[in-house]
Amino acid sequence: SQQGEEDPQALSIQEGENATMNCSYKTSINNLQWYRQNSGRGLVHLILIRSNEREKHSGRLRVTLDTSKKSSSLLITASRAADTASYFCATDRVYNFNKFYFGSGTKLNVKP
């Protein structure tokens, strides 16, 4: 990818379980964002976390950011079959907040 890697590449869980995805990036950032993509569709913005924040919540989503390790994690609690999608992290550059670079993505499959 242009910016970093995500792991796992694929994750399969049962409905009701929690799903954790990790993202690592290469350069210093202003913001990190998580997006979701259903197959063959565009991306939907989930959550943005700024470089001076360590944790953020939105509904069943919890995002953490560790700038010293250049990594972030996305936790989806009590997963549902409808959460099945690919999840990408995206980062800007500290000297250019305008461009986003995407991680390699995690394909999540939630089995009913």
Does residue 57 belong to the site contacting other proteins (CB under 8 A)?
A: no
Q: What is the DSSP code string of 60-106?
A: TEEEEEETTTTEEEEEE-S--GGG-EEEEEEEEETTEEEEEEE---E
Q: Which of 48, 64, 67, 77 binds other proteins (CB under 8 A)?
A: 48
Taking the least distance from each CB to other proteins, the nearer of 79 and 102 is: 102
Radius of gyration of the chain (CA): 13
Taking the least distance from each CB to other proteins, the nearer of 79 and 103 is: 103
Q: Which of 42, 52, 95, 112 binds other proteins (CB under 8 A)?
A: 42
